[in-house]
């Protein structure tokens, strides 16, 4: 380092609360994103406001929450007690200020750090908060966290409660778009965890009568249930579980104080352990843990005094204690399942018999695969030392692992030129590249054995680290990056088939995406515009006027690394792969990948998009 670099008092700077949040938003809301992923920042903003509304409901104030989203503006209204009027501005703009430091008022709250709404305020170009209580109301408005107007306290006949209106700042959340599917999933989780609560989203009402049982019924097609859902409730715990007929791996939905802990934590680990222990003791057999948990689909919710999470976004529980003199999280869950699940199995012998048959089937399959699994693991370890199929990123090393794991991405691409371009233009800290060799195998109808026997799939599984479930998934985002031609579409379909057949929870939990790349480049001497559709091409032509140069990209390999960095950087466009609950995975795969050629041909013809005349465009 040069000795000429000065380090004086002038280098020391103090940021006020909103400057720090705007400069380091990741510390408060995780990754930013554009709305294509369920954990993108714009949804965390909604969640932070909703968490306060839920806390009001939990404290017995307000049974309805209204959410309206039009374009980029979000309006959230609860009918709780309303923020104390004299502290309205402080609560949304003064750090370390809030009612949740008083455990008497909020015993088992979602948010405890007094940060949530301050982050929403600071990261919104417009933020308005209004509180109504004791037949009086007050309003305050902000821009980028700065107070613009603080209204007077006026008489009001409106129902008590709090109303927050905000617009995420487009200079921070670039090219963002709200996806209703993600918001609906968030809302459903809230109502499952709070029976009696109604949430109205853009005029459609959501509520639940049976809690986590409703959650599993919503995500699992009834034809795929091995046995009716087991639903158990205690004072501070609720569990719902079943086994899938077709799914290979485990699937968990865990919650703490109403917060969806998508990355699990101590409670989820304790549940997995307690499930195995209870089943072993009930049957008097020392079954292998993986056989007991194979194909299980479960949801668990617990309430903890002053929970400790591993980040501000609260996606992983770190607490080991229940609090307030109660036992540890581990022993509490162990005792609950050891008693309640054991009682249930004694009273429901048909369910117990179904579980035992499933375990024995899993044991048989595991033993049949044991030899080939070991060989496949050894092969994958050796291959990773020498081959260049996986160009890994630095997110798994050192401090980057904790700070940026939500941003980690693996691109799956085909062809040397395409993978080479992505590799050269990627962010080496968070983006990895896995290169396919030609078209992958159609795995529809095949058994898990093929995953280990096929080199491509074995190495892909090893790279993702998903052999035993998603607990240690190495990349938050898995992006299929292929050409937008017939061959590229076919490769996409084959990869999606692989994930649906063997790892459907990757799709269910929102980890799989399709990379959008531009179809056209329109440029003149001053500006270059990349266009992803015909409409964007026409808009670019009208903007540049004259006779700009038009290039039609026919494949990823034609896009240079210098250009590729624009498509996989902060302006990346991703299409999430989602499942419709109305169709089972088996039905989906049978239709698209089975031998019903005439039916599929008719479907394709009826839904065929009219292609543009490329020769005319090039002219």
Quick one: 110 and 81 in the same domain? yes
CATH classification of the domain holding 356? 3.30.230.10
Quick one: 466 and 427 in the same domain? yes
Q: Which range has highest mean pLDDT (123-132, 263-272, 367-376, 445-454)?
A: 123-132
Reported as half-sphere exposure (CB side, CA atoms, 13 A), residue 37 has a value of 27
Asked whether residue 380 is assigned to any structural domain, the reply reads no
Quick one: 199 and 216 in the same domain? no
pLDDT of residue 612: 39
Q: Beta strand pairing status for 431-436 and 390-391?
A: antiparallel
Asked whether residue 614 is assigned to any structural domain, the reply reads no
pLDDT of residue 618: 43
Packing angle, helices 212-219 and 180-193, rounded to 10: 150
Asked whether residue 528 is assigned to any structural domain, the reply reads no
Confidence band, pLDDT 50/70/90 cuts, at residue 172: very high
Domain termination site, one of 174, 206, 238: 206
Confidence band, pLDDT 50/70/90 cuts, at residue 386: low
Quick one: 136 and 56 in the same domain? yes
Asked whether residue 454 is assigned to any structural domain, the reply reads yes
Quick one: 238 and 351 in the same domain? yes
Quick one: 574 and 470 in the same domain? yes
Asked whether residue 7 is assigned to any structural domain, the reply reads no
Quick one: 55 and 160 in the same domain? yes
Asked whether residue 93 is assigned to any structural domain, the reply reads yes
Which residues sit opposite 521 in a β-bridge?
530, 551
**Per-residue pLDDT reduced to its tens digit, 99-128:** 554 544 455 655 544 578 999 999 999 999
* 198 or 258, greater pLDDT: 198
Mean pLDDT estimate for the chain? 86
580: left (phi over 0), alpha (psi -120 to 50) or beta: beta
pLDDT for residue 323 is more than 90: no
CATH classification of the domain holding 467? 3.40.50.670
Confidence band, pLDDT 50/70/90 cuts, at residue 349: very high
CATH classification of the domain holding 200? 3.30.565.10
Percentage of the residues of the chain whose pLDDT score is greater than 90: 50
Quick one: 189 and 218 in the same domain? no
Domain termination site, one of 563, 578, 593: 578
Quick one: 239 and 123 in the same domain? no
Asked whether residue 150 is assigned to any structural domain, the reply reads yes
- In this predicted structure, which of 90-104, 313-327, 429-443, 446-460 has the lowest mean pLDDT? 90-104
Q: In 3D, which of 45, 134, 54 has the Cα closest to residue 92?
A: 45
**Total number of domains constituting the chain:** 3
* 2 or 336, greater pLDDT: 336
pLDDT of residue 373: 83
**Per-residue pLDDT reduced to its tens digit, 240-251:** 999 999 888 889
Domain that holds residue 134: 17-206
Quick one: 129 and 174 in the same domain? yes
Q: Which range has highest mean pLDDT (14-18, 173-177, 330-334)?
A: 330-334
Quick one: 179 and 247 in the same domain? no
**Per-residue pLDDT reduced to its tens digit, 561-589:** 888 888 888 788 899 998 876 677 777 88
Asked whether residue 584 is assigned to any structural domain, the reply reads no
Q: How far apart are CA 345 and CA 230, in angstroms?
A: 9
CA angle 389, 247, 339 (to 5 degrees): 125
Confidence band, pLDDT 50/70/90 cuts, at residue 144: very high
Q: In 3D, which of 276, 361, 259, 274 has the Cα closest to residue 310?
A: 259
Confidence band, pLDDT 50/70/90 cuts, at residue 485: confident
Quick one: 232 and 251 in the same domain? yes
Q: Where are the beta strands (DSSP E) in 392-436?
A: 409-414, 431-436
pLDDT for residue 67 is more than 80: yes
Domain termination site, one of 332, 365, 398: 365
Confidence band, pLDDT 50/70/90 cuts, at residue 157: very high
């Amino acid at each position: 380092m040069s000795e000429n670099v000065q380090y004086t008092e002038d280098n020391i700077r103090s940021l006020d609360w909103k400057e720090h949040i705007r400069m380091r938003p990741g510390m408060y809301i995780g990754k930013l994103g554009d709305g294509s992923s369920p954990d993108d920042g714009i949804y965390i903003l909604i969640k932070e406001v909703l968490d306060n509304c839920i806390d009001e409901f939990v404290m017995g104030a307000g049974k309805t929450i209204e959410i309206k989203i039009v374009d980029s503006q979000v309006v959230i209204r609860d009918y709780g007690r309303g923020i104390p009027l004299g502290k309205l501005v402080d609560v949304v703009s003064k750090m370390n200020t809030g009612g949740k430091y008083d455990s008497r008022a909020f015993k088992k709250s979602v948010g405890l750090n007094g940060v949530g709404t301050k982050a929403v305020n600071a990261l919104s170009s417009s933020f308005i908060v209004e509180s109504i209580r004791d037949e009086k109301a007050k309003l305050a408005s902000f821009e980028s966290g700065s107070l613009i107007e603080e209204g007077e306290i006026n008489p009001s006949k409106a129902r008590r409660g709090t109303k927050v209106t905000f617009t995420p700042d487009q200079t921070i959340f670039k090219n963002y778009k709200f996806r209703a599917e993600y918001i609906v999933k968030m809302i459903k989780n809230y109502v499952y965890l709070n029976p009696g609560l109604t949430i109205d989203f853009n005029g459609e009402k959501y509520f639940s009568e049976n809690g986590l049982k409703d959650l599993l019924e919503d995500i699992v097609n009834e034809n795929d249930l091995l046995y009716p859902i087991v639903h158990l409730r205690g004072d501070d715990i609720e569990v719902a579980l079943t086994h899938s007929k077709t799914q290979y791996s485990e699937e968990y939905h865990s919650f703490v104080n109403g917060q969806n802990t998508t990355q699990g934590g101590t409670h989820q680990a304790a549940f997995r352990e307690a499930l195995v222990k209870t089943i072993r003791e009930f049957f008097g057999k020392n079954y292998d843990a993986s056989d007991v948990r194979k194909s299980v689909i479960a949801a668990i919710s617990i309430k903890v005094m002053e929970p400790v999470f591993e980040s501000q976004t609260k996606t992983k529980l770190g607490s080991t204690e229940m609090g307030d003199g109660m036992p540890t999280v581990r022993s509490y869950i162990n005792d609950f399942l050891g008693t309640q699940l054991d009682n249930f199995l004694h009273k429901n012998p048909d369910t117990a018999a179904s579980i035992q048959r499933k375990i024995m089937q899993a044991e048989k399959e595991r033993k049949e695969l044991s030899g080939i699994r070991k060989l496949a693991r050894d092969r994958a370890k050796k291959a990773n030392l020498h081959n260049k199929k996986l160009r890994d990123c630095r997110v798994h090393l050192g401090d980057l692992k904790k700070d940026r794991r939500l941003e980690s991405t693996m691109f799956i691409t085909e062809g040397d030129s395409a993978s080479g371009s992505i590799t050269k233009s990627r962010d080496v800290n968070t983006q990895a590249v896995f290169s396919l060799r030609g078209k992958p195998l159609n795995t529809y109808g095949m058994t898990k054995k093929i995953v280990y026997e096929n080199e491509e799939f074995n190495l892909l599984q090893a790279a993702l680290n998903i052999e035993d479930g998603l607990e240690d998934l190495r990349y938050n985002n898995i992006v299929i990056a292929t050409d937008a031609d017939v061959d590229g579409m076919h490769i996409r379909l084959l990869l999606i088939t692989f994930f649906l057949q063997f790892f459907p929870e990757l799709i269910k939990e929102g980890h799989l995406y399709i990379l959008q790349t531009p179809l056209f480049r329109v440029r003149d001497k001053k500006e270059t515009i990349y266009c992803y559709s015909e409409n964007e091409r026409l808009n670019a032509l009208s903007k540049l006027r004259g006779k700009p140069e038009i290039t039609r990209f026919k494949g990823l390999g034609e896009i240079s690394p210098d250009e590729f960095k624009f498509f996989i950087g902060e302006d990346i466009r991703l299409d999430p792969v989602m499942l419709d609950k109305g169709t089972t995975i088996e039905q989906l795969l049978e239709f698209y990948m089975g031998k019903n050629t005439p039916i599929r041909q008719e479907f394709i013809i009826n839904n065929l998009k009219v292609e543009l005349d490329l020769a005319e465009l090039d002219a």
